Structures are given as C-alpha cells and as structure tokens.
C-alpha cells in the first residue's frame, strides 16, 4: 500500500492535474444530471405491508391529501358577496390541471341531503348565489340542520367556510403553491383567505429545507475555512484540507448523478457527514507534518512528505475503512434513500481517504510544506499544556473521571428512553410562520387539517350493511371524537345512513341513528344512489360493502396525536373483531408514522451492527481485543449522549436527526484510531506512560481538538438557520463533535492508560 502510494507520488503534478480533471468531469455530470426527489411517497419502501395496504386503500377510496382554503368574513359568511367568492373560487380550482373537477368540496358543491314534505332530496346548497335576506337565512338554516356539513364546511360561529381541493398525485410544486396563494389573494377583502393542508406543508418543507441549506452551506464552509486557517496557521494546509472535502463531495454527488440516483432530503446530510469527517484526515496529516517540521527544520519537502505518508497512512486508512463500513451498515435499512445515503457517504469517506493520502503529499511535493513560523511556540505551548493538563487531571482523578462518565452515560440512557419520534411536518416550521398560523386557524375553527384513515375489512360480503357492525363503527367514532381533544371529527358510511334515516323520518332527531335492519340500510343506499351522487359513497365503502373507510380529522399531524387516536381505536378492536371486522390504517399521515418508525428501527439496528463491526475491525487492526473495545468507547458515549440530550431536551427524532448517530460513528472512530495509533507508536518509542500520554496529546490530541473546533465552529453557523430542523442539525453535530473529543481525551485515554496494553512487555 505504502509503496503503491509512493510510486504514484513520483508524479505529483500529474496526480494533481488528473484529480482536478476527474473532479471537473464529475462536477459537470453533477450539474447536468442531478435531480431532486421531493415526492415523499418515493422515500417509502413500497413493498412494506403497511404501505402496500395503505396505497391500495388510498386507490380504492380515492384518499388524497387536500389543500384547504379557508375564507373568513368577520361579519359572517352568509352574504351574497362571500358566497359568490366561494362559488368562483370553487370553479377556478376545478379548472386547475392539478385538481380533478369532482375533488373540490365546498358549500357550493356539497350535497345537501334533506327531507321534504313528501320525500327526500339531495341537492346543492345553492347554485345561483342567494341575494335576498330570506334566501340567505334559509341557506344558513339548511347548513345548520345538516350535521354532515355544519362544523365541517362552515365553522360554528359562521364566520369561516372552507373549500377543500384534493390534489392529484405527484403534481404539487412550489409553482402550484404560489399559484394557489396568488389565487387566494385575489379573493381578499373584506374576506381573509388562508391556505393550508398537508400538501402545502409537505411541499414547502421539501423546498424550504434544501433552499435554506443552500444558503447556509457556503457560510458554514467559509467559517470552516477561516477556523481551519487559524488552527493550521497555513493557507496551503487549509486549502488542501478543504480540497479533500470538496473533491470527495463532488465525486460523491457526481457518482450519484452518473448512476442516476436522485437527491433525497436525507442526501443533503451527505456533505454534512463528509465535512465533519473529511477534514479530520487533513488535520491529522498536517498536524504530523507540523511536528515533523518542528523537530526536523532542515528536512526537505520530499523527506517531510514521505515521512507524513509513512507515519500516517495506517491510521488514515484504518479510520476511513471503519467509518465507511459503519455507513455501509445502513444498507440494512428498509428505506432506500437511507441505503443510498449510507452507500454514498461510505464512498465519499473512501474518496476523502484517497485524496488525503495523495493530494496532501502531492501538494507538499509540488508547493512545498506549509511555512509555519516555528518560533511561535508560546501559543502551542498553551494548547499543549491545556491538553496535557486534561491528561494528567484525568489520570490523577481517575475515579472521578470514571464516575462522572458513568453518571453522564446513565443519565443519557435515561434520556434516551424519553426520545420520541416525530413524523410531523408541521412541527418543523417556526411557530410564527405563515404555515403554522394558517394551520392553527383552521384547526381552531374546524375538525382539523390532518387526517387518519381507518380501513375496516370484513371477509363477509355486505358486512357494512349490517346494523350491528354499523352501530359498532358509530360507537367507535363517538368514542374517539369525544375522548380526544386532538380529534376534531370523523366521517364514514354511518354519517350518510344516520342522516338519511333522520330526513326520511321528518327530520326527527330520534332517528339520527343507524337504521334497524339490513334491508332498510340497503334501500337507503339505493335511494341515495338514485337521488344523489353515488361517487361520494365509494369514498367510504367499496362495491361489495366489505371494506369501509372511516376518516378522522386531527388537529395535529404529530406522532403523539396519531398514536393517541390509534390507541383509542385499538381499544374497540375486540368488539369489531368479534363482528368479523379487521382494522387497518391508511393515509399519508399514517404512512409518515410507520416510515419514521422504520427509519429509527433501521438506525438503531445499523448503529448496533456498526458498533460490533467497529470493535471487530479495531481489534483486528490493533491485533488486540482490549484496544478494539476501548476504541469503541467514544462512539458509544457520543451516541448515548446524542440520543440522551434529544430525549432530555424534548427534541424529537426525525429522519434527519436520527441519521446524526452516524456522525457519532464516523467521528468517534477517527478520534479513537488516531489517538490509539499514536499512543501505540509513542509507547513503543518511549516505554514511558507519562511521556507517551503527553506526546500523544500533543500529536493526536491536538489534531483532534483542531478537528472538533473547526467542525463545531462551522456547524454552529446553522443555528442562524431559518429552518428549525437545520438548526437542530447544527446544534447536534456540534455537540457530537464535542462529546467525541471529550470522550476520547478523557475516558478513553484513561482506559488506555489503565489497561496497560502497550506496556505489557515492561511489566
């Protein structure tokens, strides 16, 4: 390996030129072929039973996410002006390409099932906008009397009405969203319009997150450059360290584009990982070079470069290979974007390794080593004495260190138990953002902006014409509606039947119940088909009355809300099951919940797996099981504290924050390996524990500290982000860097010293 590298380095200029050329090609490929994947359905493992079931149900019952446009008139909506706007807006939405004509629900399109003197009538609430006082009053009354409409399309103090437009699959775009906003704006005054709904939230998030990243990343890089220059005290070193990172990012994304894999939201984490991990190699290499130059001021650039390579290639390869293997363990995930994330980050890490081992020596050969001002000793003395102080403190108070570590880890594990997963999209926005304000407004006035579809299944044909079963469903609806604050309302076949039964009995409230016999149910349904729009019926039940769709409207899309509703529903499971009815769930909210669970499960699995792999690899590399175990300590501590803090600070796990545990692996390994490797070398050289400790701190410890400072400084920039998940990301990455560093120079160092592994011969 070393020989191979040295052979390549005989042509440093060619090497630099070739790398630059390939990078340029990759950059071009990346620019031309990269595509973003924002459709969240594409993230989910389509073959997973929960998704298969949900997708089937969505197709069967035409379940689509709706955009909700609320029209508020503080003086009440029952005036011809506002009603005209409802009508016009409905019609304009129906004409949009992204919306099916039949999928717009408003007071203008809704069916009003009413009883007349002689019979039953299903008709619109209005066609021509009512003008006279009497007609407006009649409309108000007919809405109030219809429990299928009141508080669903009009709020209870009659100042807000909603127009709901279900959006076709895969058509939501920012352009469409802005068209909707512009459209809504034209209807303002005196009415106020609000645009909300899951497609809006999802679409905006998919757009805002990456856009915010695009804005923040240059600043992050700039800060990293500045801090790199400050700690490395050399422009050359800074540039080459950074080039390693940049090239590895370009190659990774170039490769993704070349093999036609789109960029998913989690892919934006790849550069984050590569920056955090990639700078390490450069820092360690230059740190070594710096020490070498200080000790051998007369050495020529060739000697310096080759000494650096000879001394450092092993830890660089070891750290990179273990880190890459750690990321490859993400292939066990069921979620494709995460598999890709693991695979390509691993590639990026390996690329960074190659660049570190080739570009940095080549750069040194071509441009000469960085010209450090060797005289500037006081500063270094300062740093070193700080690290040495830590080292001696730790060793002197080893029980305190041990005890403190145990306490911190135990506390973290306790915190870990409090970690909750949040599949909410809305929670990712600022509390005072338009999206949240609009959503809150609609939730206050109506059932809710989020939905949970409960799919009821029976083996038996016509099951959902059986009064017994229908009554059980009705009880379920009432129970969940009433007992949970977060559930706004529910809708199913029972609502049609109760309404029909009531109006067929002269609007008597006594008959607002499920009809008593199966024949009557069937005949009402036939009557509805004859007089109404049967299309609506197929949104709640299938042709054979074997499957039914019960929709709950929720005032929050977060996992707690969904889980509480599901838990309540599950309570009625035994009763439904004795009636031969099975319960499943569907809809985008539910899929999001399952999806987040999958990510977390995969993440924990891969974390455990990679920890095991790391221990084995390190044991093999250091030819010592104790070293392997000690090397795993920083990773374990970092991961435990990372999850623990999230639990304690009530930061929910989400797709991005869950992936952060991967950083623990990447960084933890780097620190541990470099440190142990150096410790081993110095131990062999000096045979003196104290001296070894001090020298290791000066060499690896210093590099580790630099690495941590650089990345922490860079990622702290994200705290200024406007997108809360990106802020959490910045804070957590910084924290992980800090705990990795602290864990390495304290507890791991202590264990290393106490274990005596590299001093056995002495004893």
Residues of this chain that interact with another protein (CB under 8 A) are 60, 116, 118-121, 123, 462, 465, 504, 515, 517-524, 526-527, 529-531, 533-534, 538, 542-544
Here the tokens at position 280 are 């390490």
Residue 708: Cβ within 10 Å count:
25
Q: How far is the CB of 418 from another protein (least distance, A)?
A: 45
Rama region for 503: left / alpha / beta (φ>0; ψ in -120 to 50; rest): alpha
- Close Cβ partners of 632 (under 8 Å, ≥ 6 residues apart): 611, 614, 615, 618, 668, 672
Min CB(521)–another protein separation in Å? 8
**Going by C-beta distance under 8 Å and a sequence separation of 6 or more, which residues neighbour residue 379?**
none
Cα–Cα distance, 229 to 709 (Å, whole number): 12
The CB-of-520 to another protein minimum distance in angstroms stands at: 4
Of 440 and 531, which CB lies nearer to another protein in the complex structure?
Answer: 531
The nearest distance, CB 66 to another protein, in angstroms, is 19
> CB within 8 A of 17, min separation 6: which ones?
none
Nearer to another protein, 147 or 542 (CB): 542
Q: How far is the CB of 108 from another protein (least distance, A)?
A: 14
Q: Which is nearer to another protein, 192 or 505 (CB)?
A: 505
Q: What is d(CA 163, CA 191) in angstroms, rounded to the nearest whole number?
A: 14
Q: In the bound complex, what is the minimum distance in angstroms from residue 103's beta carbon to another protein? A: 12
d(CA 85, CA 98): 21
Contact criterion met (CB below 8 Å) for 65 and 98: no
Cα gap 467→464, rounded to integer Å: 8
Q: Which is nearer to another protein, 411 or 511 (CB)?
A: 511
Q: Which is nearer to another protein, 76 or 534 (CB)?
A: 534
Q: Which is nearer to another protein, 534 or 580 (CB)?
A: 534
Closest CA to 495 of 520, 521, 474: 474
Dist CA 440 CA 196 (whole Å):
9
Instruction: Name residue 551's beta-bridge partners.
Output: 453, 491
Contact 553, 447 (CB under 8 A): yes
Closest CB 543 distance from another protein, rounded Å: 4
> Is the CB of 114 or the CB of 229 nearer to another protein?
114
Residues 684 and 336: their CA atoms lie apart, in Å, by: 46
Measured from the CB atom, the residue of 522 and 560 that comes closer to another protein is: 522
Contacts of 124 (CB under 8 A, 6+ apart): 108, 109, 110, 111, 112
Of 120 and 484, nearer to another protein (C-beta) is 120
* Least distance (Å) between residue 542 CB and another protein: 7
Q: For another protein, which is the closer residue by CB, 183 or 522?
A: 522
Structural contact between residues 241 and 283, judged by C-beta atoms closer than 8 angstroms: yes
- Picking from 555, 547, 393, the residue whose alpha carbon sits closest to that of residue 473 is 547
Residues ≥6 apart with Cβ < 8 Å to 337: 37, 43, 264, 265, 266, 267
406-427 burial, b at 16+ Cβ within 10 Å, e below that, comes to eebbeebeebbeebebbbbbbb
Q: What is the 3-state secondary structure (H, E, C) of 347-390?
A: HHHHHHHHHHHHHHHHHHHHHCCCCCCCCCHHHHHHHHHHHHHH
Least distance between another protein and beta carbon 461 (Å): 10
Q: Which of 503, 492, 451, 489 is nearest to 469 (CA)?
A: 492
Closer residue to another protein (CB): 462 or 481: 462
Residue 27 vs 511, nearer CB to another protein = 511
Smallest distance, Å, CB 535 to another protein? Answer: 8
- Residue 268: CB minimum distance to another protein, A: 38
Q: Which is nearer to another protein, 305 or 504 (CB)?
A: 504
Based on CB atoms, which residue is closest to another protein, 101 or 482? 101
- Min CB(121)–another protein separation in Å: 5
Distance CA 750, CA 380 (A): 23
Minimum CB separation from another protein for residue 47, in Å?
Answer: 20
Which run of H or E residues covers position 485? none
Name the maximum alpha-carbon separation found in the chain: 110
In whole angstroms, how close is the CB of 538 to another protein at the nearest point? 7
């Amino acid at each position: 390996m070393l020989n191979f590298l040295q052979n390549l380095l005989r042509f440093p200029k060619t090497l630099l030129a070739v790398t630059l050329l390939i990078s340029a090609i990759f950059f071009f490929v990346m620019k031309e072929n990269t595509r973003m994947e924002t459709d969240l359905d594409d993230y989910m493992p389509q073959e997973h039973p929960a998704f298969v079931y949900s997708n089937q149900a969505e197709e069967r019952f035409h379940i689509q996410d709706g955009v909700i446009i609320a029209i508020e008139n503080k003086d009440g909506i029952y005036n011809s002006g506002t009603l005209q706007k409802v009508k016009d807006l409905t019609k304009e939405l129906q004409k949009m390409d992204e919306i099916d004509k039949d999928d717009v629900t408003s007071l203008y399109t809704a069916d009003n099932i009413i009883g007349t003197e002689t019979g039953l009538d299903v008709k619109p609430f209005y066609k021509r906008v009512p003008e006279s006082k009497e007609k407006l009053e009649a409309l108000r009354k007919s809405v109030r009397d219809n429990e299928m409409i009141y508080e669903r399309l009009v709020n209870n103090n009659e100042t807000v009405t909603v127009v709901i437009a279900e959006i076709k699959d895969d058509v939501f775009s920012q352009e469409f969203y802005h068209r909707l906003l512009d459209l809504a704006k034209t209807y303002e005054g005196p009415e106020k319009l609000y645009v909300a709904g899951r497609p809006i939230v999802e679409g905006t998030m998919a757009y805002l997150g990456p856009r915010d990243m695009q804005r923040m990343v240059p600043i992050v890089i700039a800060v990293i450059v500045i801090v790199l220059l400050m700690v490395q005290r050399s422009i050359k070193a800074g540039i080459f360290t950074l080039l390693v990172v940049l090239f590895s990012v370009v190659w990774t994304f170039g490769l993704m584009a070349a093999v036609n894999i789109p960029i998913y939201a989690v892919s934006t984490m790849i550069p984050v990982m590569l920056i955090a991990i990639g700078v390490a190699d450069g820092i360690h290499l230059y740190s070594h070079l710096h020490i070498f130059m200080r000790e051998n001021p007369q050495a020529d650039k060739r000697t310096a470069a080759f000494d650096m390579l000879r001394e450092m290639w092993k830890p660089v390869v070891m750290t990179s290979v273990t880190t890459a293997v750690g990321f490859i363990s993400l292939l066990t995930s069921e979620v494709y974007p995460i598999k890709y994330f693991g695979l390509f980050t691993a590639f990026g890490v390996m690329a960074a390794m190659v660049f570190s081992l080739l570009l940095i020596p080549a750069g040194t050969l071509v441009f000469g080593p960085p010209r450090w001002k060797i005289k500037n000793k006081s500063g270094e003395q300062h740093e070193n004495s700080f690290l040495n102080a830590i080292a001696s403190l730790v060793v002197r108070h080893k029980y305190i260190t041990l005890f403190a570590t145990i306490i911190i880890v135990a506390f973290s594990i306790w915190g870990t138990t409090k970690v909750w997963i949040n599949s909410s999209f809305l929670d990712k926005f600022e509390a005072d953002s338009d999206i949240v304000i609009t959503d809150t407004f609609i939730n206050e006035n109506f059932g809710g902006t989020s939905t949970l579809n409960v799919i009821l299944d029976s083996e038996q044909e016509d099951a959902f014409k059986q009064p017994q079963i229908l009554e059980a469903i009705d009880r379920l609806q009432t129970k969940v509606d009433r007992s949970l604050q977060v559930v706004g309302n529910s809708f199913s076949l029972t609502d049609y039947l109760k309404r029909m039964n009531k109006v067929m009995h002269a609007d008597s409230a006594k008959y607002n119940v499920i009809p008593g016999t199966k024949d009557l149910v069937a005949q009402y349904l036939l009557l509805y088909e004859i007089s109404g729009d049967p299309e609506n019926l197929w949104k709640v039940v299938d042709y054979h009355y074997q499957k039914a769709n019960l929709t709950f409207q929720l005032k929050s899309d977060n996992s707690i809300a969904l889980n509480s509703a599901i838990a309540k529903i599950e309570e009625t499971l035994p009763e439904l099951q004795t009636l031969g009815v099975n319960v499943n769930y569907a809809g985008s909210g539910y899929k999001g919940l399952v999806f987040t669970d999958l990510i977390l499960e995969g993440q924990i699995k891969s974390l455990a797996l990679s920890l095991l792999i790391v221990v084995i690899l390190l044991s093999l590399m250091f030819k010592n099981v104790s070293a392997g175990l000690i090397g795993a300590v920083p990773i374990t501590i970092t991961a435990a504290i990372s999850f623990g803090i999230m639990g304690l600070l009530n930061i929910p796990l989400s797709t991005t924050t869950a992936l952060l545990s991967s950083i623990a692996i990447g960084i933890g390994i780097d620190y541990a390996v470099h440190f142990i490797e150096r410790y081993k070398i110095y131990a062999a050289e000096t045979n003196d524990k104290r001296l070894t400790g001090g020298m290791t701190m000066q060499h690896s410890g210093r590099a580790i500290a630099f690495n941590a400072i650089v990345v922490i400084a860079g990622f702290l920039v994200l705290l200024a982000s406007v997108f809360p998940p990106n802020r959490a990301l910045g804070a957590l990455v910084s924290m992980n860097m800090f705990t990795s560093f602290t864990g390495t120079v304290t507890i791991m160092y202590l264990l290393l010293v106490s274990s005596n592994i590299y001093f056995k011969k002495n004893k």
